[in-house]
Amino acid sequence: MKHTTLNRIGFQFLALLLAFGIASLVLLAVGASPAQIYKDMFGSLGTKGKIADVLVSWAPLLLATAGLLITFAAGLWNIGVEGQITFGAIGTTLVLRLLQNSAMNAGFIIALSIFAGMLAGALWAALAGALKTFGGVNEIFGGLGLNFVATALTIYLVFGPWKRPGTGSMSGTQPFPEQFNLPLFEGLRLSPWALIVAVVGIVFVSFLLQGTYFGLRLKAVGKNFRAAYLLGIPTWQYMMFSFLLCGALSGAAGALQVTAVYHRLIPSISSGYGYLGLMVAMLVNYQAIAAIPVAFFFAALNIGSIQLPIVHKLDSSFSGVLQGLLVLFILLAEGARQRLTPKA
Amino acid sequence: METALILTGLGSVFFASAPIVFAVIGETIAERAGVINLSINGMILLSAMGGFVVSFQTGSLFAGFLTGALIGALVAFIVAFSSITLKQSQVAVGFVLALTCRDLAYFLGNDYMGKGGPRLPAWDLPVLSDIPIVGPIFFHQDLITYISFLMIFLSWMWIFRTRPGLMLQGIGERPASAYVRGANVNLMRYAYTVLGGAIAGLAGPAYSLSVKAGWNGTISGLDGFGWIALAITIFGGWNPLRGAFGAYLFGLLQWLGLVLQPSLPNVPSQVLQVAPFPLMILTLFLVNIGSTEWVERTLAAMPESSRRFLTRALRALRASPPASLGVPFERE
């Protein structure tokens, strides 16, 4: 047992080395110095403000990952998560728009709008789930198509019915009055509420998957659909429910993007957290709690790469390259370990 | 005058669909062998960028297309290696590669954004291009479009009319039987995945050196093509002819969207651009609905006359995948 763990760590270390090695070659190809780039990326994270910025993107990323761990357990590739975040943001914006002139307590309205975001995310996920269950449309394609539809809907709203006074622009809708923003830490862009929601989300999922009978049966559905069905587990209901839960959690991520970060609806409101969440979920493989540090590391790479266009005139997509290479080599290393390690 | 305009328009549909045709045929070949290459959306962006940059630097169009095919082959090799040799999930590896290749294309192509570069010249085929109607539609194209026409028929012939093609169907349907018949299943899967990747890799340069010459990063209008191609592969029932039909149908609808746009001034162009995606869901829905359990049950309960009609309609639409698609093969 101990031997296996050591073995695994060795292979993962090798994967890390290879990923950074290839990424360095990519940097050399555009004439940059890898040492300098890594130093600038990670060095820029030294200040309190930057750490707060990392946490600002950590919270929605963690929520999306939490949702995806549920659909992963059910054996589903919920690529539609990106659209579920977007649709959640739309739901939140809708409720805030409807109620911002009402006499209700602002805090209550925010809570209501976040709830609406979760509902909207679940709704969008239910659509992908229904297409899969009743239409035979693979969730990868259904979800992907719905992602593009959700983005188009956002753009339509931003430029059409919800455009800011004057002409609509890519900078989004009119920002909401300050009382409808989640409170921030003094002098930072980070809201404590975002952190609380994210941590509650991941702990909930961890408990659900590791500590409940439901989680166990859900994993049975994911591991062997046919066997689970024969065992009497209502398989399609379980799958549908996992879609709903994932949609609600990613909808919460979208709601936070509106209430805690942008205070309005913008065209790229999901910020790619859905796709990034898929990668994090692949890496942590059922170990929900492990998503906390992994998502933090990925968020840090995102924030660190903001420096690249400013200082080095390089595209910030480098963080995506590095994240992708890391996941790829970890997957390959796991395969190599299983192949090279003699079975006991 | 009107007719000439429409003929040119139809000709442009076949021209603009060439990248999708390459992608669909490449994917069809790989999936026929039993391997899903989910990476192609990112791979096509990378090969479009790579093909353009190499052509730009060397001045050789041939080098550009060769680069595209090599990138496609290399990415497909990674998919094959990780799924066949390392037994990892094809979906996981393919999806990660799709995202990574896309970011890699944007990162490496940053310096070449918006630069004017080489472009494949139009080449009217002598004699054939003078045929009325057919000539203006099919034979006022460029070389890569002619190659795309040729590729449709060659791949169809290979899969359905040759002995090795029969073996290719075998390793995707019943690898165990093919193995008993003397086929080296895993080696053939490697070969066809890499070959399919190389063909799909031509889609990139066919775009960046022909359809819309140049590299424009995130606004190239190419992102999403690969996902559409994967859906068309299913719509095409893993048959190059039906797949090409799907690709041209998609091209036609896109062209109609462009033609209709001026008469719909209230719809932002970004909204029309995503129209293919709900359409993709709808076609997959129509193709798959006949195979779902509840439809079969409902049909069985229906009166004879209406049942026969519905069953026939659904069967005509239905496409079933190679039986061992995505399933690794192991000798017992």
CA distances from A79 to A243, B144, B287 (A): 11, 33, 21
**How far is the C-alpha of A248 from the C-alpha of B26, rounded, in Å?**
38
pLDDT digits (tens, 9 = 90+) for B59-116: 999 999 999 999 999 999 999 999 999 999 999 999 999 999 999 999 999 999 888 8
pLDDT digits (tens, 9 = 90+) for A117-170: 999 999 999 999 999 988 888 899 899 899 989 998 998 899 888 988 877 777
Q: Which residues of A touch B291 (CB under 8 A)?
A: 136
- For A105, the 3-state DSSP assignment is coil
Q: Which residues contact B76 (CB under 8 A, 6 or more apart)?
A: B30, B37, B39, B43, B193, B194, B196, B197, B198, B200, B201
Residue B97 to residue A332, Cβ atoms within 8 A: no
Q: Which residues contact B169 (CB under 8 A, 6 or more apart)?
A: B32, B159, B322
pLDDT at residue B332, as a whole number: 59
Average pLDDT over residues A254-264: 95
**How far is the C-alpha of B29 from the C-alpha of B233, rounded, in Å?**
10
- Nearest-neighbour CA in chain A from B254: distance (Å): 16
User: B273: nearest CA in chain A?
Assistant: A152
Check CB contact of B280 with chain A, cutoff 8 Å.
yes
Indicate the pLDDT class of residue A344, thresholds 50, 70 and 90.
low
Q: Which residues of B touch A324 (CB under 8 A)?
A: 96-97, 99-100, 103-104
Please give the mean pLDDT across all residues of chain A: 91
Average pLDDT over residues A100-106: 89
Check CB contact of B274 with chain A, cutoff 8 Å.
yes
**How far is the C-alpha of A223 from the C-alpha of A6, rounded, in Å?**
26
| Residue among B158, B138, B161 at smallest CA distance from B148 | B138
**How far is the C-alpha of A185 from the C-alpha of A195, rounded, in Å?**
11
Between B92, B93, B288, which is nearest A136 by CB? B288
Residue A102: pLDDT over 70: yes
**How far is the C-alpha of A204 from the C-alpha of A196, rounded, in Å?**
12
pLDDT at residue B329, as a whole number: 82
- Nearest-neighbour CA in chain A from B273: distance (Å): 9
Domains, chain B = 2-263 (1.10.3470)
Residue B122 forms beta bridges with which residues?
B142
pLDDT at residue B106, as a whole number: 95
pLDDT digits (tens, 9 = 90+) for B295-305: 888 888 888 77
User: B112: nearest CA in chain A?
Assistant: A30
Residue B326: pLDDT over 90: no
Between B78, B107, B273, which is nearest A315 by CB? B107
pLDDT at residue A343, as a whole number: 63
Q: Which residues of A touch B38 (CB under 8 A)?
A: 140
Residue B273 to residue A140, Cβ atoms within 8 A: no
Q: How many CB pairs under 8 A join A and B?
A: 133
Q: Which of A124-133, A195-204, B306-315 has the lowest mean pLDDT?
A: B306-315
Residue A324 to residue B281, Cβ atoms within 8 A: no
Residue B22: pLDDT over 90: yes
Other beta carbons within 10 Å of B114: 9
pLDDT at residue A237, as a whole number: 92
pLDDT at residue A93, as a whole number: 96
Q: Which of B27, B46, B96, B113 to mutate to test the interface with A (most CBs of A within 10 A)?
A: B96
- Nearest-neighbour CA in chain B from A199: distance (Å): 26
**Long-range CB pairs of A322-325, under 8 A, 24+ apart, other chains included:** A322/A19, A322/A20, A322/A23, A323/A276, A323/A279, A323/A298, A323/B100, A324/A279, A324/B96, A324/B97, A324/B99, A324/B100, A324/B103, A324/B104, A325/A18, A325/A19, A325/A22, A325/A23, A325/B100
Indicate the pLDDT class of residue B258, thresholds 50, 70 and 90.
confident
As a whole number of Å, the end-to-end CA separation of chain A is 10
Residue B225: pLDDT over 60: yes
Q: Which residues of A touch B292 (CB under 8 A)?
A: 134-136
Counting residues of chain B whose pLDDT is more than 70, the rounded percentage is 97
pLDDT at residue B5, as a whole number: 82
User: B110: nearest CA in chain A?
Assistant: A315
Q: Which residues of B touch A141 (CB under 8 A)?
A: 227, 230-231, 234, 280-281, 284
Please give the mean pLDDT across all residues of chain B: 89
Residue A1: pLDDT over 60: no
Q: Which residues contact A51 (CB under 8 A, 6 or more apart)?
A: A45
pLDDT at residue B319, as a whole number: 77
pLDDT at residue A230, as a whole number: 85
Residue A279 to residue B96, Cβ atoms within 8 A: yes
- Tokens for A17, please give them: 């080395």
| ipTM for this prediction | 0.92
Q: Which of A86-95, A101-110, B23-32 has the lowest mean pLDDT?
A: A101-110
pLDDT at residue A262, as a whole number: 94
pLDDT at residue B243, as a whole number: 95
Q: Which of B91, B235, B274 to mutate to test the interface with A (most CBs of A within 10 A)?
A: B274
Domain residue ranges in chain A: 1-32+316-344, 52-313
Contact B254, B16 (CB under 8 A): yes
**How far is the C-alpha of A129 from the C-alpha of A150, rounded, in Å?**
16
Contact B80, B86 (CB under 8 A): no
Check CB contact of B292 with chain A, cutoff 8 Å.
yes
Between A145, A160, A338, which is nearest B278 by CB? A145
Q: Which residues contact B165 (CB under 8 A, 6 or more apart)?
A: B157, B158, B159
Q: Which of A10-14, A326-330, B218-222 has the lowest mean pLDDT?
A: B218-222
Residue B228: pLDDT over 80: yes
Check CB contact of B102 with chain A, cutoff 8 Å.
yes
Indicate the pLDDT class of residue B323, thresholds 50, 70 and 90.
confident
pLDDT at residue B136, as a whole number: 84
User: A142: nearest CA in chain B?
Assistant: B281
Average pLDDT over residues A49-68: 95
Indicate the pLDDT class of residue B125, thresholds 50, 70 and 90.
confident
Indicate the pLDDT class of residue B222, thresholds 50, 70 and 90.
confident
- Nearest-neighbour CA in chain B from A130: distance (Å): 11
Query: In one letter, which amino acid is B36?
Result: I
| Residue among B173, B196, B198, B170 at smallest CA distance from B184 | B170
Residue B290: phi, psi to the nearest 5? Answer: -65, -20
Q: Which residues of A touch B221 (CB under 8 A)?
A: none
**How far is the C-alpha of B131 from the C-alpha of B129, rounded, in Å?**
6
| Residue among B208, B167, B177, B191 at smallest CA distance from B49 | B208
**How far is the C-alpha of B46 from the C-alpha of B41, rounded, in Å?**
9
CATH (residue range A52-313): 1.10.3470
**How far is the C-alpha of A123 from the C-alpha of B250, rounded, in Å?**
29
Residue A149 to residue B288, Cβ atoms within 8 A: no
Check CB contact of B182 with chain A, cutoff 8 Å.
no
